Structure 1
């Protein structure tokens, strides 16, 4: 058993944090496993309950652990990295990470666009758009609620394609219409879940944080081809951004 070194300059809570993190990383504590109680950890490593609380709190804040009231503390599933570099559909993005995706179609059909959608896609209010609302599950867990709007003038009958209910939107657009987004502009906001439908579909607690993403995708000639909104579970996602320096 790894020991806490009291003669080390590293704080005791951080040493315990590091021990527990290594056990999570190497699979000793697998996702869904309950870790020992605060009292058990306190006795095992001969540290105070305050020290244990600090270590567990840090692991929970970083997304490695989560608490269930009245039951204990459990190992969280790894967060899904969202790589802000390429224009990909959800299925393409998850498949590239080796994850199993399940799609539940909630509302797929042709609708007149409202002012917000019209402004984003440079359409007239009331012009028909294909609305595709789907719940995404990864490895069995709901992680994203997404709604895409695609002008019917660019992809007529898109919502009627059987493949659109469960497959890749971008692959279907390219295969059936020869159109594929090559550039996208996204905005990210952290919001609190209060809408009962979002809470139920994403299987989160009321008041839980989620990541609200808005995307406008464009064709190679600059024509906007998709306006999409996504609600991503805050406990299952992390953002990864590649930065470069401008050399003058």
Structure 2
């Protein structure tokens, strides 16, 4: 069997195992030595097949840990503003969060412009690593004016929805969000947080959230694993 054909064989066999559910979502694949012996190919040939599956989003590689099947891809319903926790619960998954930062600092010029506050005004920055059923999915950063959201400084946001805490502690209800989504590659720090590889695809969400009267109250930056998030939208042509 030629090297090319052997790699194709490895790819086809592994793709079949994934289709029939031999490897469950979130599961770690057997080691490369075991798989190469089972498929009758070299480890280099096996890696070629795994690399093709990785490019298709069917598996992903974790440094020092091996190959894994991605967990269930999450996605936002079209034209619906949902929190991360709401998305998880809607799919029967358990949302998790690790708070990495929760403090006051001066606003940058860009933040002040978006939030319609004076430059260098105090803002609260909250950084969280969000996950579903224990798997890291999103690195989330939010920035809010301190004079509007001071109650969040003492909030325990490990298991709570920030939108819910903002409503209950500060009397602020988010009505709409101006949201943009771009593609990027994970650097070393982000790859470590999301347990993926350097250079892996990520989706970067940039939002400004408003109350019903049009007051901007929150800036958000969300970096999602590209193999675990899907954004959907309804698009219309003018009549």
- Quote how far apart the aligned CAs of 1:115 are: 1.0
Alignment of 1:55-66 (within 5 A): 58-66=52-60
Counterpart check, 1:161 vs 2:154: yes
Aligned residue among 100, 108, 126 for 1:106:
100
1:131–1:159 Cα contact (<8 Å) kept = no
Q: Paired residue for 1:241?
A: 232
Which is greater in Rg?
A: 1
- Superposed CA RMSD in Å reads 3.3
- For each residue in 1:189-235, what CA deviation from the matched residue of structure 2 results, as whole angstroms up to 9, or x when unmatched? 22223353x33322333333322211111111111111011121223
1:116-167 CA-partner distances (Å, limit 9, x unpaired): 2112211111112221111112222222111111112322x23323333541
Calculate the TM-score normalised by the size of structure 1.
Answer: 0.75
User: Shift of residue 53 of structure 1?
Assistant: 8.4
Paired residue for 1:24, among 18, 21, 29?
A: 18
Name the counterpart of 2:4. none
Match of residue 171 from structure 2: 178
- 1:1-248 equivalent positions in 2, closer than 5 A: 17=12, 20-21=14-15, 23-30=17-24, 31-34=27-30, 37=35, 40-41=38-39, 58-67=52-61, 74-83=67-76, 84-155=78-149, 157-194=150-187, 196=189, 198-235=190-227, 237-246=228-237, 248=239
- Please tell me whether the aligned partners of residues 191 and 211 of structure 1 are also in contact (alpha carbons under 8 angstroms): yes
CA distance in 1 between counterparts of 2:226 and 2:121 reads: 34
TM-score normalised by L of structure 2: 0.77
Give, in whole Å, the separation in 2 of the partners of 1:104 and 1:22: 36
Structure 2 spans left out of the alignment, 5+ residues: 1-7
- Change in 2 beyond 3 A, CA 1:152/1:201: same
Q: Is the 8 A contact 1:136 1:144 kept in 2?
A: yes
User: Relative to structure 1, is the Cα distance of residues 210 and 54 closer, same or farther in structure 2, using a 3 angstrom cutoff?
Assistant: same
> Unmatched 5+ residue regions in structure 1?
1-12, 44-48
**Could you tell me how far apart the structure 2 residues matched to 1:230 and 1:164 are?**
16
